[in-house]
Structure formats: structure tokens, C-alpha cells
């Protein structure tokens, strides 16, 4: 007696052989006949295999096999992994028209969801014992799932935080917003801790809402773009823009007016009475000129003992390339030093003094103070 599956496959195989013969005779075609013959052969093999296993039915004479039959196994539990796959596919589609980052995240979600779905489906059919199936799944995926999930979760939270922080209009708004968020977290946590016996489902739902709100806020802020942040000017910018003058600039605002104990200081230069004096460690007295080793980094401490703010400047006269452009900074300078203050200046001079017609010298803009620098 033929089983239901065998009847279906035998009938399909017979029809395929008939169609192959009719097509080959009527159309006199080779490609179509080969396709139909291949289909007929495949269906015939499946029909023969199904006849041999009899639709995997268990004989009534083997009642001991009833419990292990596939039909006797519990159906797979509902899973959220298909939802992750669908969410990932939607994110990939969104990323195709917005941002490559969203496409990459969607692709990762699709792969992760598909793999987890596959493992869950396999483990729940591994045996007739639910506990064994659960252990089998955990042994396979826990060593990879737990660290990866933790790292991904932390990265998503941190990235969403950064997008929200950079998306707010000002730094003050960022501080205010996150201060309010911190107060809300403390208040909600206090209310939750005061109530005893809160279910795990309630806690999971509350944290899920918070995470979704954070991720949604990060996505919106990321799409809107970062706020415009003005660059902070430095003394290097002053030198490049040729604004190492006696006037106060943005780079001088809140500049340090003291120098901690330093080792390997080439010299300490003091500006007082419209004059520059240099003190070289290891030598007694002041000098009228300063010798600096060529192509080495030299640290100089500038002390301002005058009655007005001052800055120390030195023109480096760098070599030029084939196009006439400088092969290094043209000058370096300190920030504006208040009366009684000090600043550290690091310089590197790559040319000897004899190669520069003007020579090297420290000077203070707005005064006649100058200190000759000798580079062997």
C-alpha cells in the first residue's frame, strides 16, 4: 500500500517523464528536454526514497518508537528572532537611502537573528527532553553570545549617548539635559526599590522602554547631524596666521601662567625692564645669547617680570621645498603671559645660524627686547 507522500511523488515523477517525452518529440528541443528529464529523475529518486522510509511513519508493531517520532515532539516555541531579522531588513533598506552605518547595523542584525533562529530551531528538536535541548543550545551559543551581546549592547548605548550629546544645540543644553536625565534615573530607581515584589517582566519592560528611547534619540540626533563646534585656537594657530603680537587673542584665554618642575630645560628666559635675560642651567650668571643644539627639541621657560602681559616669539626661517613652501613652521610663540607668570616653549631649529642671513633671535612683540640664538 502506497503512503500519501509516495503517491504524490510517484505521480509527479510520472507526469515529468511524460512531459519530457512530449516536449522532446513535439518541440525537437534539447535544452527544455534536458531540464524536464532532470526534474523527472529527481522526482523519481525522491519517490523511491519515500517508498523506502514509508513517509517516516512508525509501524503499529513498534509502539516503543512512538515517543521519539517527529510527530510526537512539541512544536517550536514562539521566538523573537524573526522580529530581529525583520527589523534588520528594514534598517538595511533605510540605510540604502540614508546612511551606510544603518545598512551595516541592519546587516549585522539580520545575520545575528538568522543564526540565533537557526540554533533555536535545531536545539528544540534535538531530543524529546526540554531540559536537554536547553542545555544543548546554551553549550553551543553562550560562549559567543554573552560577550558579543554585552559588547554590542554597551557600544549601542555609548554611541547613542554620544549622538544625543553632540546633537544638542549647545554644551549648556547638553549638561542640563543629562542632569535632568540623571535626576529622573535616581527618582525612578528609588521608587522601584521602595516597592517590594516587582516582577521580572515589569523590570524587563521598563528597561526595554528606556533603551528603546535612548536608541531612538540617538538615531534621530545622528540623522540631524552634530552641532557646529568652533575649533579652539592654539599658539600654533597664532604662529601660522602671523598673529604672534602683543594683543590678546582667543588662544590666550585661560592660558596657564605657571610651569611645573621640568627636567632637561635648555634655558630660562626672563623679560624685565624691556630686556631679555637668559639663565642656562649649570652655568652661573646671565648671558647675552643662547646656544641651542640643531635639530633637537629644546625646552625654554619664559618668565614675564614686566608690568604688562607679554609673549615670547622666535622666527625659525625654515628651508623651503621646490614650490617655495616652508618645510616646517615659520615661527613659534607662547601664549600671552601675565605679570609674574611663566610659560614653556618647545622649539626645534633645523638650520644652522650661518644658513640664515637674518639669524635666529627670541623677541617680545611690542618691545625692543631681543635675545640672539646661536645654532651650530
Whether residues 204 and 254 fall in one domain? no
Distance between CA atoms of residues 46 and 38, nearest Å: 13
Residues 301 and 341 in one domain: yes
- The β-bridge partners of 326 are 320
| Whether residue 247 is found in the same domain as residue 210 | no
Domain membership flag for residue 109: yes
Main-chain dihedrals φ then ψ at residue 276, nearest 5 degrees: -110, 125
Rounded average pLDDT over 248-258: 77
Measured CA to CA, the distance from residue 170 to residue 189 in angstroms comes to 29
Q: Kindly state whether residues 278 and 220 are assigned to the same domain.
A: no
SS3 state at 2: coil
Does the pLDDT of residue 46 top 80, yes or no?
A: yes
- Of residues 232 and 134, more confidence is placed in 134
Residue with cell 601664549: 335
Is residue 54's pLDDT more than 70?
Answer: no
Q: How many CA atoms lie within 13 A of 95 on its CB side?
A: 16
Residues 177 and 272 in one domain: no
Residues 240 and 220 in one domain: no
pLDDT band with cut points at 50, 70 and 90 for residue 129: confident
Both 198 and 328 in one domain: the answer is no
Highest mean pLDDT pick, 9-13, 282-286, 321-325: 9-13
Q: Quick check: is 67 in a domain? A: no
Whether residue 255 sits in one domain with residue 213? no
Domain count, the chain: 3
Statement: residue 74 has pLDDT above 80: no
**Average pLDDT for 130-143:** 80
DSSP 189-202: HHHHHHSS---HHH
Residues 357 and 245 in one domain: yes
Whichever domain contains 356, its CATH number is 2.60.40.420
Distance between CA atoms of residues 360 and 290, nearest Å: 10
Domain that holds residue 208: 81-224
Q: What is the pLDDT of residue 58?
A: 58
Helix (H) or strand (E) holding 303: strand 298-304
Is 64 among the domain residues?
no
> Would you state the pLDDT for residue 357?
79
| 147 within a domain of the structure (yes/no) | yes
What confidence score (pLDDT) does residue 110 get? 92
In this prediction the pTM is 0.46
Q: Model confidence at 61, in pLDDT bands (50, 70, 90)?
A: low
Over range 185-200, report the average pLDDT.
78
| Residue 186 forms part of a structural domain | yes
The residue among 186, 201, 224 that closes a domain is 224
Structural domain ending residue among the three candidates 200, 224, 248: 224
Q: Which of 57, 72, 89 is the last residue of a domain?
A: 57
Q: How far, in Å, CA of 149 to CA of 194, rounded?
A: 31
Band of residue 254 on the pLDDT scale cut at 50, 70, 90 = confident
254 and 218 share a domain? Answer: no
pLDDT band for 271, please (50, 70, 90 cuts): very high
Q: What digits encode the pLDDT tens for the residues 317-368?
A: 876 776 766 666 778 888 888 998 998 888 888 888 888 878 899 999 888 8
Is pLDDT of 184 > 70?
yes
Kindly state the cell numbers that stand for 309: 602681559
Q: Does 66 map to a domain? A: no
199 & 151 share domain = yes
Residue 70 has pLDDT above 60, yes or no: no
Mean model confidence pLDDT for the chain: 80
Classify residue 65: in a domain, yes or no: no
Look at residue 169 and tell me if it is in a domain.
yes
Question: Are residues 286 and 208 part of one domain?
Answer: no
Q: Is the per-residue pLDDT at 60 higher than 60? A: no
Can you tell me the mean pLDDT for 206-230? 73
Amino acid at each position: 500500500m502506497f503512503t500519501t507522500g509516495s503517491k504524490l511523488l510517484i505521480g509527479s515523477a510520472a507526469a515529468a517523464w511524460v512531459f519530457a517525452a512530449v516536449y522532446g518529440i513535439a518541440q525537437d528541443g534539447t535544452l527544455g528536454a534536458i531540464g524536464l528529464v532532470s526534474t523527472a529523475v529527481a522526482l523519481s529518486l525522491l519517490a523511491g526514497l519515500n517508498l523506502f522510509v514509508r513517509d517516516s511513519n512508525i509501524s503499529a508493531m513498534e509502539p516503543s518508537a512512538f515517543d521519539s517520532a517527529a510527530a510526537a515532539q512539541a512544536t517550536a516555541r514562539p521566538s523573537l528572532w524573526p522580529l530581529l531579522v525583520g527589523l534588520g531588513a528594514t534598517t538595511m533598506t533605510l540605510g540604502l537611502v540614508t546612511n551606510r552605518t544603518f545598512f551595516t547595523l541592519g546587516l549585522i542584525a539580520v545575520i545575528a537573528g538568522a543564526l540565533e533562529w537557526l540554533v533555536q530551531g535545531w536545539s528544540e528538536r534535538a531530543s524529546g527532553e526540554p531540559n536537554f535541548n536547553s542545555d544543548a543550545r546554551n553549550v553551543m551559543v553562550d560562549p559567543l553570545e554573552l560577550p558579543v551581546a554585552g559588547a554590542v549592547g554597551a557600544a549601542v548605548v555609548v554611541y547613542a549617548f554620544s549622538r544625543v550629546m553632540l546633537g544638542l544645540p549647545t554644551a549648556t543644553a547638553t549638561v542640563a539635559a543629562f542632569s535632568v536625565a540623571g535626576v529622573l534615573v535616581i527618582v525612578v530607581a528609588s521608587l522601584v526599590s521602595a516597592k517590594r515584589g516587582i516582577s521580572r517582566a515589569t523590570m524587563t519592560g521598563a528597561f526595554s522602554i528606556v533603551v528603546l528611547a535612548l536608541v531612538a534619540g540617538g538615531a534621530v540626533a545622528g540623522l540631524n547631524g552634530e552641532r557646529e563646534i568652533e575649533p579652539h585656537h592654539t599658539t600654533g594657530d597664532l604662529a601660522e596666521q602671523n598673529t604672534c603680537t602683543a594683543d590678546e587673542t582667543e588662544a590666550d584665554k585661560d592660558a596657564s601662567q605657571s610651569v611645573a618642575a621640568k627636567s632637561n630645560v635648555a634655558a630660562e628666559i626672563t623679560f624685565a625692564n624691556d630686556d631679555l635675560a637668559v639663565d642656562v642651567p649649570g652655568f652661573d650668571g646671565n648671558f647675552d645669547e643662547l646656544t641651542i643644539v640643531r635639530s633637537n627639541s629644546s625646552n625654554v621657560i619664559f618668565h614675564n617680570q614686566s608690568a604688562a602681559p607679554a609673549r615670547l616669539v622666535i622666527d625659525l626661517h625654515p628651508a623651503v621645498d621646490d614650490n617655495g613652501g616652508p618645510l616646517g613652521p615659520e615661527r613659534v610663540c607662547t601664549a600671552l603671559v601675565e605679570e609674574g607668570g611663566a610659560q614653556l616653549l618647545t622649539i626645534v631649529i633645523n638650520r644652522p645660524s650661518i644658513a640664515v642671513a637674518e639669524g635666529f633671535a627670541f623677541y617680545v612683540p611690542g618691545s625692543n627686547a631681543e635675545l640672539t640664538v646661536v645654532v651650530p
